[in-house]
Structure 1
Amino acid sequence: MTQQTFKTEGAKITAYLDGPRWEGVPAATVGGFSCTSVDAGVEVLAQALAYIRASGPRRVLGPMERDTWHSYRAVTQSDDSPAFLLEPAAQSLVLEVLQATGFTEISSYFSARVPLAQTAQTPPPATEDFTIEAWNGKNPEGLFEQVFTLSTQAFAKNAFYKPITHEAFMAMYMPIVPLLKQELIFFARRPDQSLAGFLFGTPNYAEGPNPTSAILKTYASLSKGAGQHLAYAFHTAAKKAGYTSAIHALIHDDNLSALRSASEEADIFRRYGLFGLKLDD
């Protein structure tokens, strides 16, 4: 068994033994964490940590459900605006429990909002290395086949990266196909038609059936400059489609995406943290 769920009166958590590496060392993770009081949370977390310790791992990451392909991170600061689509829920008690138990923030992220009227003012430099094209809306399975291949290359050097099987990837992403809008999904293709990058945007359906904001959810590239071109295409298309604002979602503080978001003068409205604990031998 590589995972176990613990429940007490007023709290629940799942421990996963086969998490990603942290500083080159295998780590367990804790996720699916909820509690009605700090005391209840500390009690159930203690049970999860005892299980992890007895099973061997000496490092723990959280909140994280298995790995970074799944839900992870806790809200650490907020302007109290409503959560956007697929955003981690704010759970102040969970944050208090982690800190009370000795977890410290080891990686930080943010989301920012920008009026589309002020974005995409200057086209990026022309290039012959790739061209940008919108998804034609056809063959979503083929779309995610390409995204899987590029993602496993582009994200492999990221902190806390853990490989995922093709089957697991498709099982996670195919159910979101009905949410996709082809005008907010872009590819960067080299002259030989191989994929140099992709960008996934989606309407913020958390606002209801007629959202006014579009989320720049995920992008990755293998060619220098592709991310800048993809972001320009997304902002331009979202503005044309009638959205009034863009959300730059869940960006690592040290990522190049953070500089691009700042260059658009986007305002940070939420911060998140991933926390870690080193268990004593």
Structure 2
Amino acid sequence: MLQIADWLDGLALGRKASPGIEAVLHVLHSDTGPASFMSTQDVATRANVNVATVVRAAQFLGFSGWSALKSELRHRYLASLTAEKLLNERPFPASGLAGTSLALDAQNMARLAAGASAEQIARAAAILASASRTIVLATGSYAAAGFQLAHMGQWMGRDIELHTASGTSLVNRLRMMAPGDVLVSCNLWRASKFVAEVVRVAEQRGVRILAIADRQTGITDVAEEALIVPSEGVTFMPSTVGAVAIVQALLAELASIDPARTMAALRDTEELWSELDLVDPA
């Protein structure tokens, strides 16, 4: 938890807080895991302050309110746990796990819909549209969201390529990228050091960076646009629903930027499908 404590201290920037805010910050430092799941009232009770002080504490740290701070705190806490520790914290219930998973993903989607900025998604799509070449770097479960972005982007006639692992092929592709090209990092939960290093090198070479993440990280700090999505899942599995949903929104915006180009690419694809007899008419 030292990294989370350092993060909280960094947000405070050495400023003097009121006794009430200090009491809230003490709860966050000393009981990070449980606090990341508490309501405003629960935190207030634990800190022996009122709910308004909890909100002011969140604002003191640079957030709009407790909900925004809790989401960031929770994702940082979950990212600090191994899969085994996640399972220990959330053991399998006797029944109802499927329903719990669906309900949690519904909450994730509601949280994303309430917090996502349509203007930011449009800006990110414009960055993709401006690039001659785009690499999507996605690892583990989140390769699914990366695959959707690359596959549907290619369908629209965009040069978007997915890479899911380190190696010489990625180095070769990175070397061929020019200033103004785009690298999309889709890196959530226990973020990969390798992805962070590739992003650092790419940014130094003039490549524009977009990030899909579940919290603020070193990658989001250098990204022109960072799309933050919820990833909390049931038991040991982080959810991919938020990442896929934000990719869908990004693709919708991308398709609308140059409708004539999009339509021409789709028409060409349909003709190739027909020529190669790929689609089952049934």
- Output the TM-score relative to the length of structure 2: 0.25
Larger RCO: Structure 1 or Structure 2 (Cα < 8 Å, ≥ 6 residues apart)?
Answer: 1
Structure with larger Rg: 2
